[in-house]
Structure 1
């Protein structure tokens, strides 16, 4: 059985299980892990350069890996979306190409290699698939061929779900609106708050928020919530955050 066939079979089983309460993107990510020799998978959707949504993940560790890319502002997935192509990043390339992300990934997850690429079809410009491996080496050519085939199917599944949903918010159907997306939206609200207070571009405001999170040793979502509650005040560039 090919990897594409395994993906289709596993996804059909997951979608058909009546007692499952996870959303379609999580099921798609889980099916990727079942079909491919990888240890985790996540899906993301980029509305604008600084507006990236976490669509789904195979498990909590994969979800954490996606958040780290957004929190650090760098990573293979961001590069894959920029170049509209496949990025293969074993550990040594992670350290050289995305050093901040690499340090955080090693510290907070078991993953040591990332393969990132756009999904296939109409969503190739906005949706991407990240695959995470514990092995720090480069995947084989056969594995990468299977990854490309599965990514094509992932794009078809996501596009079909988008096309069949009338209740669209933030460009996403109801089945895509999970808690991680709500939390990422809170980050955007905090960015807008900082931007308005400091008369900054959203990119500069996001940089300030990221810097505060790094300084305080917090994740980006927690930092954003503290900003919105008034518990944390983000200073101008160069000063430490105060609470």
Structure 2
């Protein structure tokens, strides 16, 4: 990213790049990782960056960091239940830390990262019309490592990124539901086929055959659809 671009032009170029990254990755985890790397490259003064998606109770559902130091700082936040990222998510507002060694808002976290080369932080929520779904964060190795332009840039980037990630989450959820439905339909078909086989073998009606299958599954402590597949393959009831 060229540092001499006006903010509007810089934002437009970076938003287009992030849109391309998020829309071309197949999974949410891949998209989050791409977003973290793009932030590191885009925000001047950044030592490392991270992106996290969270559920309504503040538990991470997907997270990515550009290097081990950032990963450690983020894991400490979630392990301790405090830190700028969690605060940005909970308050749905940008949080800035001028110097981690003199900021006392999260004492346990500040002590835990004291030996890490992280001195200043920006964390901003990934906000959608339905609420915050996570947070972005960038770290600098020096106090006051970010200027007002960097803060404004990450805030503006978070808006389209949040919407694209929310769409990616919805797409992943729909795919899982679809896969589950296919699996359920397959299991139902297998049980139906096996029931017909038992009817023919034992000369019983459908209800009796199904009861026989259910009883056999219980005795063998096996899922009904797995027993049905065995019978279709020639196994005994």
TM-score in terms of structure 2 length: 0.59
Choose from 89, 96, 99 the match for 1:91: 99
| Distance of aligned partners of 1:143 and 1:47 in 2 relative to their CA distance in 1, 3 Å threshold | same
Counterpart Cα distance in 1 of 2:113 and 2:76: 7
Q: How do 1:77-156 residues align onto structure 2 when only pairs under 5 Å count? A: 77-92=85-100, 95-107=103-115, 109-122=116-129, 124-137=131-144, 139-156=146-163
Tell me how far 1:106 sits from its aligned partner. 2.8
Mapped to 1, the partners of 2:152 and 2:141 lie a distance apart of 19
User: 2:190 corresponds to which residue?
Assistant: none
Higher Cα radius of gyration: 2
Cα RMSD over matched residues?
Answer: 2.9
Residues 13 and 26 (structure 1), Cα distance of their counterparts in 2 relative to 1, 3 Å cut: closer
Matched, 1:73 2:81: yes
The number of residue pairs the alignment matches comes to 165
Kindly state the Cα deviation for residue 122 of structure 1 after the two structures are TM-superposed.
4.0
User: Secondary structure at 1:91's aligned position in 2?
Assistant: coil
Of residues 42, 53, 74, the one that matches 1:45 is 53
Paired residues of 1:65 and 1:105 also in contact (CA < 8 A): yes
CA-CA distance at 1:92 after TM superposition: 4.9
Match for residue 161 of structure 1? Answer: 168
Contact 1:32 1:41 in 2 (8 A): yes
Cα deviation 1:128-182 (Å, max 9, x = unaligned): 112211121162221111111111122122022123232349xxxxxxxxxxxxx
What corresponds to 1:63 in structure 2?
A: 71
Residue pair 2:133, 2:162 contacting (<8 A) in 1 also: no
Change (3 A) 1:92 1:14: closer
Q: Which 5+ residue runs of structure 1 have no aligned equivalent? A: 170-243
Q: Secondary structure of the equivalent of 2:175?
A: coil
Give the structure 1 partner of residue 220 of structure 2.
none
1:32 to 16, 35, 39: 39
